[in-house]
């Protein structure tokens, strides 16, 4: 299967540049996999479209202000006191590796090589608030950084960092994005991008879901390169994703096990939730020490680089809430694996004709 098999034409004017004026007011395309059809609706209808007994799983990772701007202060090629005239360097933190080390995307990457040091300041400050050394370099601007240890690193990040809006949003981040590019239930900081299907939820809609008898639980997957990295190969079989950190809590594992045993639907809010649940199912089904009396998940933390494409058999997820994704992206491949490529592309063509809003701040699709 070719990556180009997942292409569709999208007018640039349909790419949402701002969140909807009111959270939760988005349109929603409802796709029925069994009937092979779809219809227009609104996200506010979600509580009436799910059943009593359904289990809804949310990703509670919190987006950090991961986009930073730096100047190259010193490299192995310059003296320590030499100023660097090379201009501003953009650094997008993508994963905390522990202690003071992070992976990041750096632009322009050609200017920043191992041994170089970066200074991070805020407007009006002459003294760097953060300093980092480049440890390793990989393709496509990927770098490993080691920050000089700073006890209040997170507080400084909140002060000088920018919300990591995706590159197809052609504007600078604003104060509004601090709230709107964040789910209302976000809890554990660590994501370099929002789990966007969750951006539609409001406290009122969550309350209505529970009143309708829908059980709501959470996982955590810190969104990084594994979710949003561009595809650089031609064949789907050659795609390999970066690993992302996740946690499956005990309450969620038990809720999933009970729902599976009782034959109830499990609805994943977003592709990040889907990947986490299916990765955990893969671990459970290949655990040689677990008697196979049925799939049973165990609470744990780990990393996943699972890639779901057409032909994959889903073990846990039976319903999916998701935004509309980029052409030829791994996320569109995941949705196609769940609902079928032809049906998904037909639904996307309908969404284009009906002028749905696409991508992170756009409308959504419910697949049942």
The two tokens of residue 235 are 């064949």
**pLDDT at residue number 126:** 73
Q: Indicate the helix (H) or strand (E) that contains 267.
A: strand 266-269
The stretches in the chain having pLDDT less than 50 are 78-85, 288-292
The two tokens of residue 209 are 């879901």
pLDDT digits (tens, 9 = 90+) for 182-239: 999 999 999 999 999 999 999 999 999 999 999 999 999 999 876 767 788 999 999 9
**pLDDT at residue number 286:** 67
To which residue do tokens 């594992």 refer? 253
**pLDDT at residue number 293:** 52
Residue 236 CA to residue 239 CA, distance in Å, equals: 6
Mapping DSSP to helix (H, G, I), strand (E, B) and coil, where does residue 335 land?
A: helix
Bridge-partner residues for 29, per DSSP?
Answer: 40, 365
Closest CA to 272 of 65, 97, 58: 58
Residue 253 CA to residue 157 CA, distance in Å, equals: 33
The two tokens of residue 328 are 């030829």
Tell me the helix, strand and coil percentages in the chain, rounded to 5: 30, 30, 45
- Helix axis angle, 341-353 to 330-339, nearest 10°: 110
Residue 103 CA to residue 95 CA, distance in Å, equals: 5
Residue 92 CA to residue 305 CA, distance in Å, equals: 20
Q: Is 81 left (phi over 0), alpha (psi -120 to 50) or beta?
A: alpha
Mapping DSSP to helix (H, G, I), strand (E, B) and coil, where does residue 143 land?
A: strand
Domains of the chain, first to last: 3-63+177-367 (3.40.1780.10), 67-160 (2.40.10.240)
Residue 151 CA to residue 132 CA, distance in Å, equals: 14
Residue 184 CA to residue 64 CA, distance in Å, equals: 14
3-state secondary structure 81-136: CCCCCCCCEEEEEEEEEECCEEEEEEECHHHCCCCCEEEECCCCCCCCCEEEEEEE
**pLDDT at residue number 83:** 45
**pLDDT at residue number 285:** 79
How many Cα atoms sit within 13 Å of 322 on the Cβ side?
Answer: 27
**pLDDT at residue number 230:** 79
To which residue do tokens 């100023």 refer? 83
Q: Is 121 buried (19+), middle (13-18) or exposed (0-12) by CB count in 10 A?
A: middle
**pLDDT at residue number 47:** 98
């Amino acid at each position: 299967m070719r990556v180009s098999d997942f292409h569709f034409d999208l007018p640039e004017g349909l790419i949402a540049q701002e969140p909807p004026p009111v959270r939760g007011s988005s349109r929603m395309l409802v796709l029925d996999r069994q009937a092979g059809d779809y219809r227009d609706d609104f996200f506010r209808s979600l509580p009436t479209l799910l059943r009593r007994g359904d289990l809804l799983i949310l990703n509670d990772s919190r987006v950090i202000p991961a986009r930073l701007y730096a100047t190259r202060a010193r490299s192995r090629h310059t003296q320590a006191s030499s100023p660097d005239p090379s201009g501003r360097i953009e650094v997008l933190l993508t994963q905390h590796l522990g202690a003071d080390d992070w992976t990041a995307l750096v632009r322009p990457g050609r200017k920043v090589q191992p041994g170089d040091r970066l200074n991070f300041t805020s407007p009006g400050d002459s003294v760097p608030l953060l300093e980092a050394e480049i440890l390793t370099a990989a393709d496509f601007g990927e770098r490993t950084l080691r920050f000089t240890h700073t006890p209040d690193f997170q507080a400084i990040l909140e002060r000088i960092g920018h919300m990591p809006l995706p590159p197809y949003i052609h504007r600078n981040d604003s104060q509004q994005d601090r709230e709107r590019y964040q789910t209302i239930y976000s809890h554990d900081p660590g994501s370099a991008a929002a789990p966007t299907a969750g951006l539609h939820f409001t406290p009122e809609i969550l309350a209505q879901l529970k009143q309708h008898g829908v059980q709501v639980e959470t996982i955590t997957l810190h969104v990084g390169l594994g979710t949003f990295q561009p595809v650089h190969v031609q064949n789907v079989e050659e795609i390999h994703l970066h690993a992302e950190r996740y946690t499956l809590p005990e309450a969620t594992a038990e809720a999933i096990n009970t729902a599976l045993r009782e034959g109830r639907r499990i609805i994943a809010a977003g592709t990040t939730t889907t990947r986490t649940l299916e990765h955990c199912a893969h671990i459970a089904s290949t655990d040689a020490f677990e008697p196979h009396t049925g799939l049973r998940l165990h609470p744990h933390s780990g990393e996943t680089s699972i890639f779901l494409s057409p032909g994959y058999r889903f073990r846990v997820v039976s319903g999916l809430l998701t935004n509309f994704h980029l052409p030829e992206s791994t996320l569109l491949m995941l949705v196609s694996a769940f609902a079928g490529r032809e049906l998904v592309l037909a639904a996307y063509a309908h969404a284009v004709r009906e002028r749905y809003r696409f991508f992170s701040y756009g409308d959504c699709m419910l697949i049942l």
